[in-house]
Structure 1
Amino acid sequence: MPKSLKQEIIYGIMMVFAMVYPMVCYNVTLNVGGTQNFVFAAALHELPIMCPLAFLFDFFVVGPIAKKITFRIFNPAEDKIIFVILMMSVLSVWMMCPYMSLIATILFKNGLQPEFFSIWISTTVKNFPMAFFWQLFAAGPLVRFIFGKMFK
């Protein structure tokens, strides 16, 4: 876990990339009706937009709220660290998924239109299970492993 502001920023950048790129690939795949080779390159074009937005929202809004809630429930000195990690991960997905789906709906699904709310809700519902399981079983463990190796 990050222990300084520099580490928080590095960890945040790593986690944002590990979540945003696969989620963009997933959404492009949904939009075109299945995985195709071009999806992986197409997703790269959205990263300069989506990654900074995700980082800023996570670093300044979601992260502090998730920590506050988690540390009200769990004490890292007394409770198993896995509970702290899982709580932070679940809260992050719970808050980030609707926000990132909102941004994607505005930017990539014809912006504000009469069906905007329905499209946003539908996008969030489709993204949430993928984001949840990707965070818990792939991105989260991978980023924590690499980050742990970087900052022993």
Structure 2
Amino acid sequence: MPKTKTQGIIFGLIMSYAMAYGMEVYNIAIKMGFNLSAGGFSNMTDIVFWEAFKEALYMGVFVFLFSNLWGNRLGARFMARHCNPETDNPYFCQLMRQAGTVAVMCPTMSMVASILFNLILGGAPIVQLPAIWVGTFLKNFPMAFFWNMFAAAPFTHWLFGKLFPNNH
């Protein structure tokens, strides 16, 4: 885990971009017709990964900004409410922090995506924003939760450990 402010920023950037890229792959695949329940693997093409990369470049900035403004703090509060670092397993506490952060960041980033992709770029009327936001949040929450737990966080910890081997 980060021990200095610089390490914290690097850790945050890795995590932000790992989350942004995974969520962009998911959303672009859906937009391009990927549908797992209908045997949609045939619709998954390499272009999904390139388009996701392009969108993740700027969406990662939003993730980093909002996670530092409130996502990480509220995730830490969630953890403090549901685990005791003195007596509970450290891995359980880490999972509680991740879950709390996802519970805050997913609705936040769903709002960002709703405004950016549906209102600004898509031309949807602003009165539709609440419905678009709820739909976006409901679609993204399961993926955000499991992507964070099983891909983005482990990858971030692994890469951070490679960059700063004395911290783990």
TM-score (norm 1): 0.90
Structure with higher Rg: it is: 2
Report which stretch shifted further, 128-137 or 58-67.
Answer: 58-67
1:33 aligned partner: 33
1:53 aligned partner: 62
2:87 aligned partner: 78
1:14 aligned partner: 14
Give structure 1 regions of 4+ aligned residues with deviation exceeding 4 angstroms. Answer: none
Contact 2:82 2:96 in 1 (8 A): no
1:95 aligns with 2:108: no
1:126 aligns with 2:139: yes
Shift of 1:107: 0.8
1:148 aligned partner: 161
The DSSP-based 3-state class of the residue aligned with 2:119 is coil
CA distance in 2, matches of 1:133, 1:124: 14
Report the AA paired with residue 33 of structure 1.
G
Report which stretch shifted further, 59-68 or 85-94.
Answer: 59-68
How many residues are paired up? Answer: 152
CA distance in 2, matches of 1:131, 1:73: 20
2:74 aligned partner: 65
TM-score (norm 2): 0.83
The DSSP-based 3-state class of the residue aligned with 1:115 is helix
Q: Give the fraction of aligned pairs with identical amino acids, expressed as a percent.
A: 39
Q: What runs of 5+ residues in structure 1 fail to find an aligned partner?
A: none
